[in-house]
Amino acid sequence: MREGREISGSSAVCLLGVRAGALLACAAARDSSNVQRLVLWDPISNGAGYLQVLRRIQAMMLQQNFYLSRAERREATHEYAGYSISKRMVEEFHLLDASVYSSVPKGALHVVSTSSKTGFPVAGVPQDVVPFRCDWDTAAQELIMSRPVLECLIACLTRS
């Protein structure tokens, strides 16, 4: 955030947090008085559950990549959806839960959901629903971005 303010010359900070990034953005905002708006796109409820989803994706990827050698497969079993995550990061994700959303003023939060089924854990937070078939429990590189979702995210970030 500091670097973004220095580069832009702006004192206003608006953050967009996608899935686990929503937890991370709120944790960062909790420790900063400069964040004016946080737009959370399909926020997850906790870091531990998110890591479990990434491990399931990793298992599916390993099943599809039958050409991997035994050594490559053994190495890949430690990854999360194709990415190496440090032990410290895994530990820190396990500490993040829905309470981090409550640590940010409600007036700064806005949720954008691709499904009306989501139940954001903090009551009274504005929420836009932009229907879009977005299966986050698959490999992310298969997702194609929807223009209505992008337009909604930009509008939420730039709303005064």
- Picking from 75, 53, 54, the residue whose alpha carbon sits closest to that of residue 65 is 75
Q: What range defines the domain where residue 40 resides?
A: 2-158
- Whole-angstrom distance, CA of residue 95 vs CA of residue 70: 33
Total tally of structural domains belonging to the chain? 1
- Looking up tokens 């479990």 gives 52
Q: Return the residue matching tokens 């559950």.
A: 49
Torsion region of 81: left, alpha or beta (phi above 0 gives left; psi -120 to 50 gives alpha): left
Q: Specify whether the CB–CB gap between 22 and 40 falls below 8 A.
A: yes
What strand order describes the sheet that includes 127-129? 13-18, 35-41, 109-113, 127-129
Q: The tokens of 116 are what?
A: 């009306």
**Strand ranges inside 33-126, DSSP E:** 35-41, 109-113
Assessment of whether the complete model's pTM goes beyond 0.75: yes
* The two three-digit tokens of residue 143, written as one number: 């997702």
Ordered per-residue pLDDT tens for the chain, 160 residues: 888 888 988 888 889 999 899 999 999 888 777 888 999 999 998 999 999 989 988 888 888 877 888 888 787 888 888 888 899 999 999 999 999 999 888 888 999 988 776 678 888 888 888 877 766 666 555 556 677 888 888 888 887 6
Q: Would you state the pLDDT for residue 48? A: 94
CA distance 107 to 19: 20
